[in-house]
Amino acid sequence: VPHGVNTETYHPAPCKVDAWESLGYPGKYGIGIFGRVREQKGVV
């Protein structure tokens, strides 16, 4: 089953350091969390 992501459009940045710096975030690392913020999940 294909995963549904167009790998010609979405692909890793050629240089992750440059990509990170272009976002303006401090430091070298970031953590992303994707999900729903709902009371039932205990995160509100």
Q: pLDDT of 1-44, one tens digit each?
A: 667 888 889 888 899 899 899 999 889 888 887 777 777 766 66
- Whole-number pLDDT of residue 37: 74
What share of residues in the chain are helix, strand, coil (percent, to 5)? 25, 0, 75
- Whole-number pLDDT of residue 28: 87
- Answer yes or no: are the C-beta atoms of 13 and 21 closer than 8 Å: no
- Whole-number pLDDT of residue 43: 62
Domain boundaries, the chain: 1-44
Question: pTM of the full predicted structure?
Answer: 0.49
Phi/psi at 39 (5° precision): -55, -40
Q: Which two tokens stand for residue 22?
A: 């272009």
